[in-house]
Amino acid sequence: MRSPHSAALAGFLGLAVAMGVGRFAFTPILPLMQAQAGTSIAAGATLAAANYLGYLVGALAAMPLSGRPGVFIRAALVTTAAVTFGMGITQEMASWLALRFAAGVASAFLLVFISVWSLEHLAAARRPRLSGVVFAGVGAGIAAVGAVCLMLENLRANYAHVWLVLGGLSLLLALGLWPIFSPRDEPVRATSSEAHLSGGLTSQWRLVLSYGLLGFGYIVPATFLPVMARGLLSQAHGFDLSWPVFGVAACLSTLVAARASSRFSVLNVWRTAQGLMAIGVALPALVFAPLAVITAAVFVGGTFMVVTMAGMQSAKRFGGSAPQRLMAAMTAAFATGQLVGPLPVPYLMRADGDFTIALAVAALALLAGVLLLPTEPRLARAAASATDVQQRTS
């Protein structure tokens, strides 16, 4: 079995590819595609929806699968690299839709199976706090992709070249991670009480629904933040900073939250993070100023991976003997929410490109998700206590 630090680093890099490239590379490239390929907001929303539909299909497909996570992780890493290359080779809308769909399927597989693989390795090694390093990979990937896009744009690169560069980087990481995710080096299931806690079907369904509202609520800024920033920031390339800021905040926040989880229950960490996200999403709707967009990037970026990490940890703790199924169900609900989220945006926008109504609706959905979270204090305390025992022995 891998050492806990190497397992955490592998999970970190795998999620950086899964989310930084497979899921969210489209966000900072969309303004370039608008300027160079004439991609409209409506077309952008459709391409985003294709990716989210793929994410939903991938999550549903992962639910019944069992066996060795490394096999699925390897296949999804290679697929992510291939479809990213494809976005730079073709200019056909139909091909773009198919490629973004495939990227979504691969991303869902990576999130579910890397979460299972990493959390089991860390639980077996009694190092659960290192989960913060694993999920920091998402923010690091987003920040790195945003920085690459900014650099290439400053070099006056074509949007297609950006996709090709990201495809190459993804392939290099996939090849480097290939031996680590060997099917012969699978995690050993933890036998502690934490691995067998179950919150009951009612609590599990509340987790699923709340996670689905998270997907709906955060996806508007996650998809259109650079577009909103472009409309507000007058300095050249100033809008590009919003996405790297989003990623850095996401990266650092999981490290802080992993330590906070030793003092507070995972559900309370989730509630706090999703409440702060709602404030961040609503801010540009209340204050029409450049600083509001950057602040929103910090609030949303600094909380969405905390909620993702808390969600996967909750699924592991309250999913009984098959936490992968609850992880996949929550990921499917999240994917459904984010699939629906971008579609009404063109109809909720004003003619001048104002996102106020769309942001208000998204913020309300996030608050509703906070209210839906389970409130069983005994289960929350039991899960927190199990974590404390493991951390004191690490």
Q: Is 314 exposed, middle or buried (0-12, 13-18, 19+ CB in 10 A)?
A: buried
Residues 162-202: tens digit of each pLDDT: 999 999 999 999 999 999 998 776 665 554 444 444 556 78
Question: Is it the case that residue 387 has pLDDT exceeding 90?
Answer: no
Distances from the Cα of 207 to the Cαs of 153, 270, 304, 333, 364, in angstroms?
41, 10, 15, 10, 17
Residues 206-256: tens digit of each pLDDT: 999 999 999 999 887 766 665 666 555 544 444 456 667 778 888 889 988
How confident is the model over 269-287, as a mean pLDDT?
Answer: 89
162: Cβ contacts below 8 Å, ≥ 6 apart: 29, 32, 88, 148, 149, 152, 153
Read off the DSSP letter of residue 17: I
Does residue 348 or residue 188 have the better pLDDT?
348
* pTM summary value: 0.83
Q: What is the mean pLDDT of the chain?
A: 83
pLDDT at residue 191, as a whole number? 45
Weakest-pLDDT range from 15-29, 180-194, 252-266: 180-194
pLDDT at residue 351, as a whole number? 62
How confident is the model over 45-66, as a mean pLDDT?
Answer: 89
**Contact (CB, 8 A) for 316 and 195:** yes
Residues 127-150: tens digit of each pLDDT: 888 999 999 999 899 889 989 998
pLDDT at residue 105, as a whole number? 96
Kindly report the number of other CB atoms within 10 A of residue 156's CB atom: 7
How confident is the model over 118-133, as a mean pLDDT?
Answer: 88
Does residue 347 or residue 388 have the better pLDDT?
347
Identify the CA nearest to 335 among candidates 113, 56, 48. 56
Taking the CA atoms of residue 65, residue 69, residue 74 and residue 80 in that order, the dihedral angle to the nearest 10 degrees is 60
pLDDT at residue 328, as a whole number? 92
pLDDT at residue 196, as a whole number? 43
Question: Is it the case that residue 299 has pLDDT exceeding 90?
Answer: no
**Contact (CB, 8 A) for 361 and 348:** yes
pLDDT at residue 359, as a whole number? 86
Where do the structural domains in the chain lie, given as residue ranges?
4-388
How confident is the model over 363-380, as a mean pLDDT?
Answer: 80
DSSP string, 47-66: HHHHHHHHHHHHHHHHTT--
pLDDT at residue 391, as a whole number? 46
Question: 4-388: what CATH class?
Answer: mainly alpha
Question: Is it the case that residue 378 has pLDDT exceeding 50?
Answer: no
Model confidence band, residue 57 (pLDDT cutoffs 50, 70, 90): very high
70-84, 242-256, 296-310 — which one is most confidently predicted on average?
70-84
Q: Residue-wise over 160-199: b if at least 16 C-beta within 10 A, else e?
A: bebbbbbbebbbebbeebeebbeeeebbeebebebbebeb
Model confidence band, residue 41 (pLDDT cutoffs 50, 70, 90): confident
